[in-house]
């Protein structure tokens, strides 16, 4: 279950490639390609590991208050897909 | 800006890069896109291939589709696969299976980041071998058996759809299931030697409808390389995937001598963007070649602009148009509304191929004193096939 109060990271088998629209995401294990559709979301995924939890990552990247719910929803989807995963605190 | 529009204007590096490692091949498939057979003496050597891989790593190209020719006949093939995956460039390679013995299948099953694609163009030996040559069905089935026995799951079985095998779609799916593989079907193109057999092998109008219905029914479960987007003009259900021509925008091809073409189906000087050996290497070609820059500019729908289906099919495949002699800004030769056939009726002669690595059937006797001997089935010379 995705929990924004816990520490996460971009999964080790996943590579992010910055693009004008956000980022391309490639999972070397499932060989699936997907997309992060804003640069800010790409920045969130890339910096999850540096922060104590998901909420503080969103603060650090300065996600607008009106956008937070949408970002949490997107991140929950990325957690389901294995793109991001919980890490040890 | 929608995601698809970003793709249309080009990305910083290709998503999907095809790299034909050699023109050498043990087979001589009648529809070969790259007219393969004989090795080109200018082929990139091992060190040059490694340099390309290093550059793909720097550009974060996540994986390459390696093909040929038959790539596994290169003596450094497995070494290059390892080098690539060691450098965060995943590999999917296409093979007719000739080198996939039990030992090699085990090695592949144990290596991360390598995917295998076995070519099969008939669900029966009769249909397959008519296109790919005698014995090729058995070779492919043996390779699939070896992969399955080694525990390699979800390898790809790649089928080019022809008039002879559209009726076998369910049989292909059953073969894929029985080996734990995944079915991938792609569109026949009139490229390379495919130009010679296009008229007799490309699916009929009724078969295109059949193919579309089958694809809609099977959804994401079947891979297509997004190659059937021209069929979207049939209806309201868009096929899964990227429904636009990605040539020079999200895909391209590196050929065995390092030439970079806009897409795997367009090996012709008109679509040649540069060479990886030139200063600046591949990234310079990808980012700044005039051809690719041109492909990334908005295109005119031309004679398709009044067609209500244009938004669904986007005019179809650039290579299919080019190699059948149709203009780029008009209908695809297989336009499901029938405009392609109309256009073909008044089209000029198809372009001449600009490279051919087909094996010559016999050495050409030097004593023959009249003209150039013909060695392609499409030649009109009365001597064709008679040597």
- Interface ipTM: 0.82
pLDDT tens per residue, range B72-85: 999 999 999 999 99
Which pLDDT score, from 0 to 100, does residue B1 have?
66
Mean pLDDT of B11-34: 94
Mean pLDDT of B312-331: 94
Average pLDDT for B274-299: 95
Q: What is the pLDDT, as a whole number, of residue B366? A: 52
Rounded to whole angstroms, the Cα distance separating B308 from B295 reads 23
| Chain A residues within 8 A of B182 when measuring between CB atoms | none
Residues of chain B whose beta carbon is less than 8 angstroms from a beta carbon of chain A are: 1, 3, 6, 11-13, 15, 60, 62-63, 88, 90, 92, 112-113, 115
Give per-residue pLDDT as tens, B139-184.
999 999 999 999 999 999 999 999 999 999 999 999 999 999 999 9
Helices (H), A1-89: 39-47, 54-60, 68-81
Residue range B340-387, pLDDT digits in tens? 999 999 888 899 888 889 987 755 545 444 444 444 434 334 443 333
Residue B113 has a pLDDT of 87
* Lowest-confidence pick of B58-67, B203-212, B238-247: B238-247
Mean pLDDT, consecutive 10-residue segments, chain A of 89 residues? 96 92 88 89 97 97 96 96 94
**Inter-chain CB pairs, A–B, below 8 Å:** 37
| B18: CB partners within 8 A, 6+ apart | B64, B65, B66, B67, B251, B252, B253, B254, B263, B264
Question: E strands along chain B, which residues?
Answer: 16-20, 63-67, 90-95, 114-119, 156-161, 182-187, 251-254, 259-261, 272-275
- Taking CA–CA distances from B2, the nearest residue in chain A reads A21
pLDDT score of B238:
83
Q: Tokens 């009106």 belong to which residue?
A: A66
**Best residue in B1, B6, B88, B116 to probe A by mutation, most A CBs within 10 Å?**
B6
Strand (E) or helix (H) holding A16? strand A14-19
SS3 B93: strand
pLDDT tens digits, one per residue of B39-56: 999 999 999 999 999 999
Question: Which residues partner with A18 through β-bridges?
Answer: A23
For chain B, how big is the Rg over CA atoms in Å?
Answer: 20
Contact status, residue B20 vs residue B68, Cβ threshold 8 Å: yes
Neighboring chain A residues of B12 at a CB cutoff of 8 Å: 17-20
CA-closest candidate to residue B254, choices B233, B237, B231, B271: B271
**Interface touch B11/A24, C-beta < 8 Å:** yes
Angle at A44 between CA A41 and CA A50, to 5 degrees: 170
- Is the Cβ pair B60, A17 closer than 8 Å? yes
Contact B114/B90 with Cβ under 8 angstroms? yes
How far is the C-alpha of B97 from the C-alpha of B253, rounded, in Å? 22
Q: Kindly state the average pLDDT of the residues B1-21.
A: 84
Q: What is the mean pLDDT of residues B201-219?
A: 95
Instruction: Tell me what the mean pLDDT of segment B91-118 comes to.
Output: 96
Average pLDDT, integer, range B113-121: 96
Contacts of B156 by beta carbon, 8 Å cutoff, 6+ apart? B92, B115, B116, B117, B118, B181, B182, B183, B184, B223
Distance from CA of A5 to the nearest CA of B (A): 31
């Amino acid at each position: 279950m995705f929990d924004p109060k816990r520490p996460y990271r971009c999964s080790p088998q996943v590579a992010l490639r910055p693009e004008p629209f956000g980022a391309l995401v490639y999972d070397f294990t499932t060989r699936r390609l997907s997309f992060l559709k804003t640069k800010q979301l790409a920045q969130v995924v890339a910096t999850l590991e540096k922060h104590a939890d998901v909420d503080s990552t969103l603060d650090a990247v300065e996600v607008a208050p009106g956008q937070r719910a949408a970002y949490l929803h997107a991140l929950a989807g990325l957690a389901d897909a294995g793109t991001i995963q919980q890490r040890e605190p | 800006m929608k995601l698809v529009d970003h793709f249309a204007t080009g990305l910083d590096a290709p998503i999907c890069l095809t790299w034909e490692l050699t023109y050498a091949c043990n087979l001589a498939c009648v529809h070969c896109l790259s007219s393969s057979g004989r090795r080109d003496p200018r082929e990139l050597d091992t060190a040059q291939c490694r340099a390309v891989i290093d550059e793909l790593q720097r550009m974060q190209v996540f994986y390459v589709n390696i093909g040929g020719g038959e790539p596994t006949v290169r003596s450094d093939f497995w070494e290059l696969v390892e080098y690539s995956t060691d450098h965060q460039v995943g590999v999917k390679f296409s093979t007719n299976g000739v080198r996939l013995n039990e030992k090699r299948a085990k090695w592949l099953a144990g290596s991360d980041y390598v995917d295998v694609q076995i070519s099969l163009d008939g669900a029966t030996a009769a249909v397959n071998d008519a296109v790919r040559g005698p014995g090729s069905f058995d070779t492919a089935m043996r390779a699939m058996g070896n992969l399955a026995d080694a525990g390699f799951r979800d390898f790809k079985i790649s089928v080019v759809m022809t008039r002879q095998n559209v009726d076998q779609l369910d049989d292909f799916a059953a073969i894929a299931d029985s080996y734990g593989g995944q079915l991938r079907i792609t569109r026949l193109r009139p490229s390379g030697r495919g130009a010679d057999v296009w008229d007799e092998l490309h699916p009929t109008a009724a078969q295109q409808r059949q193919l579309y219905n089958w694809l809609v029914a099977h959804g994401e479960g079947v891979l297509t390389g997004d190659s059937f987007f021209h069929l979207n003009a049939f209806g309201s259900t868009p096929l899964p995937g990227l429904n636009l021509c990605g040539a020079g925008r999200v895909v391209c091809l590196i050929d065995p001598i390092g030439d970079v073409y806009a897409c795997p189906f367009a090996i012709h000087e008109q679509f040649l963007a540069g060479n990886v050996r030139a200063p600046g290497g591949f990234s310079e070609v990808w980012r700044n070649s005039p051809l690719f820059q041109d492909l990334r500019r908005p295109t005119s729908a031309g004679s398709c602009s009044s067609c209500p289906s244009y938004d669904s099919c986007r005019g179809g495949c650039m290579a299919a148009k080019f190699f059948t002699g149709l203009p780029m800004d008009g209908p695809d030769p297989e336009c499901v509304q029938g405009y392609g056939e109309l256009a073909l009726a008044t089209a000029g002669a198809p372009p001449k191929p600009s490279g051919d690595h087909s094996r010559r059937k016999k050495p050409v006797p030097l004593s023959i004193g009249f003209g150039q001997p013909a060695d392609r089935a499409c030649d009109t010379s009365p001597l064709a096939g008679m040597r």
